[in-house]
Structure 1
Amino acid sequence: MKSNYSLDDLRYFCTVARLNSFKAAADDLSMPLSTLSRRIQQLEQDLQLRLLNRDAHRVSLTSIGELYYQRSHGLFDELSDIGEALHNEKHQAKGKIRVSAPINAGTQFLRNIFYDFLLHYPDIQLDLHFSNALIDIEGEAMDVVFRVGNPVVDNWIARPLKDIHFILCASPEHDISGLKQPTDLCGKPVIICHPMSVWQLVSMNNGQEYDYQATHGIRLEVDEIQMLTHGVKVGLGIGYIPDYYALPMIEQGELQHVLPEWRSKVRTLFLLYRDRQHLPMRVRLFVEFVLARFDSIT
């Protein structure tokens, strides 16, 4: 049977029943007593049931009114709780934030930022997911996403954090004397780290571009930078490694720089999040914390 009454009128009835007074209910609802009385009468007319007994001194529930109140008032209590919870989501620094980040960027750039944020906001939890795959961030219900390249996601805001270049590296014992141009890489032993299977190289001298995709000589395929780097260090082959990770090892003699006048096109680490105006406070605080930290180191 289809209900044909106003939920507002039902709420007014529950308020009268709870306070046992039309006057007290009118004050609680901030509405004229005459309007409240008329709306309750309208509800009884719509239901074709008498819910309240009225006399000059008091208001009492009829038996059907008592049943109706017991079944109905909990709905409005729950709605009030939901409204309070939503208010807390918007205005309190507490709750869980689901975060997705690439494996190496997460451990190299972001780990200490995550820890410092948690220490600063003890009532906020981070649920961290590290993956190099382009996951369905909405399907996985992510609040904040870090990505290197490929930042465009409908209805998400992308903020650049840091530019990254990849460079070619080999072990110190690897003979690279015959490597003068990227074309000389053909057939040489290499390690591929997905998803960077195509090495997009640009000459720093003249801007010439060359994309190298190995079809022969692939010794190892991985999807994690540390495994790639370790494989290069032990001499399995040449690897395409982020500069922030490789350069300190080159300086310490753990790696050697292959074709040092060539490096990748710039790839940028982005921070992605939803609409600025409707972010829960915990997410807004996290976004601001991350942006401030990267601003301080650039």
Structure 2
Amino acid sequence: MFNYSLDDLRYFCAVLKLGSYKKASERLGVSLSTLSRKIRFLEQNLQLTLLNRDSRRITLTNIGELYYERYGKLFDDVACIEQELSDQKHKPEGLIRITAPIFLGKHFLSAIFCGFLKQYPEIKLDLRLTNTLIDLEEEGIDIAFRARNSTLDNWISRELKLTHNILCSHPKNLNRLLTHPKQLDEHDKIICLGLTPWELKNTLTNEKYSYQPNKQVRFEVDEIEMMRIAIESDVGISYIPDYVAHPLIEAGKLEQVLPEWQSEAQSFSMLYLNRSQIPKRVRLLIEYTLRYFLANTVV
């Protein structure tokens, strides 16, 4: 059974590639005596002579040439891989895989991603907009954006914005007589997958009420944009994120129902793997996103 190491083979290949023991010892950072001893150990272990030695030059034996052809390519490949990994760590280039909820991605992140791509032309983004909680590591995701469900083992979570859900309807909807969420049963409703029950808290009294919209559900959707369209079309009352509702309320397209009631604050967060060496391209997008949310009031 052979007892040599990959280092012994690497030393042998380095001597051949550089053409001398001296150059190889300098490149490898080992003494000449250590280098010579390692190669002799390799030959003794193989019971083969790999090098012809004289005072002027180093040449290969026939078997040494076979070894060098095979292992020289191996160490060249390793060197290329190491260089590629170094480039990924230090240069702003390569691919970043991202996932985000559909409407949140469109509403909050589109300007960030487009601005980032213009600033770093060698970086590419692969964006998966989905409302499904995918397995981030299995899908090879570098950065995930999530509303709620923002804590994962081994992932760092950075809060970007706090949001609330509020009750809204078309301004023509006769809902002004409502005084409590329990009265919602008699009104037409639009519900969105993942946003039930309607968890509400009174901002004046701190009373909490969990409303399950089971009665008079006219429309059930799985995407916030469709829910917004349905509310604007006067289909019914719904429970909608405030960042969607507020501009429409100001424009007179929606009206808030039970304005003293809203959900508790929910965190919109950015997640990335907790590892010591994040590729530079990923770190740049993380920093760019944090600066953007710090500098902008996104509504």
Normalising TM by the smaller chain, what interval?
over 0.9
8 Å contact from structure 1 (residues 22, 36) kept in 2:
yes
**Equivalence for 1:285:** 284
Q: Distance in 2 between matches of 1:268 and 1:15?
A: 55
**Equivalence for 1:266:** 265
8 Å contact from structure 2 (residues 176, 257) kept in 1:
no
Within 5 Å, which residues of 2 pair with 1:1-150? 3-150=2-149
* Coordinate RMSD, CA, aligned: 1.5
**What stretches of structure 1 of length at least 5 have no aligned partner?**
none
1:292 CA drift (Å): 0.9
Q: Residue deviations 1:180-209, cap 9 Å, x none?
A: 210001242211111112111111110101
DSSP-derived class of the 1:261 partner: strand
DSSP-derived class of the 1:49 partner: coil
Which range moved further: 12-21 or 130-139?
12-21
1:149 CA drift (Å): 1.2
1:6 CA drift (Å): 1.2
1:44 CA drift (Å): 0.5
**What stretches of structure 2 of length at least 5 have no aligned partner?**
none
DSSP-derived class of the 1:27 partner: helix
Q: Residue deviations 1:58-103, cap 9 Å, x none?
A: 2211111101100110111111111111111211111111111111
Q: Residue deviations 1:25-81, cap 9 Å, x none?
A: 333333322222211110011111111112233221111110110011011111111
DSSP-derived class of the 2:133 partner: coil
Write the letter of the residue equivalent to 1:165: H
**Equivalence for 2:157:** 158
Q: Distance in 2 between matches of 1:19 and 1:177?
A: 86
1:3 CA drift (Å): 4.5
Q: Residue deviations 1:117-170, cap 9 Å, x none?
A: 111111111111111121111111111111111211001111111111111111
Q: Distance in 2 between matches of 1:109 and 1:23?
A: 59
Q: Distance in 2 between matches of 1:56 and 1:133?
A: 70
Q: Distance in 2 between matches of 1:28 and 1:276?
A: 31
Q: Distance in 1 between matches of 2:26 and 2:156?
A: 45
DSSP-derived class of the 1:294 partner: helix
Q: Distance in 1 between matches of 2:47 and 2:18?
A: 23
Q: Distance in 2 between matches of 1:265 and 1:46?
A: 71
In the TM superposition, structure 1's runs of 4+ consecutive aligned residues that sit over 3 Å from their partners are none
Write the letter of the residue equivalent to 2:85: L
DSSP-derived class of the 1:283 partner: helix
**Structure 2 vs 1, CA of residues 5 and 236 (structure 1 numbering), >3 Å: closer, same or farther?**
same
8 Å contact from structure 1 (residues 97, 125) kept in 2:
yes
**Equivalence for 1:257:** 256
Q: Distance in 1 between matches of 2:66 and 2:273?
A: 45
Q: Distance in 2 between matches of 1:189 and 1:248?
A: 23
Write the letter of the residue equivalent to 2:234: G
8 Å contact from structure 1 (residues 187, 214) kept in 2:
no
**Equivalence for 1:195:** 194
Name the TM-score, length of structure 1 as normaliser: 0.95
8 Å contact from structure 2 (residues 169, 238) kept in 1:
yes
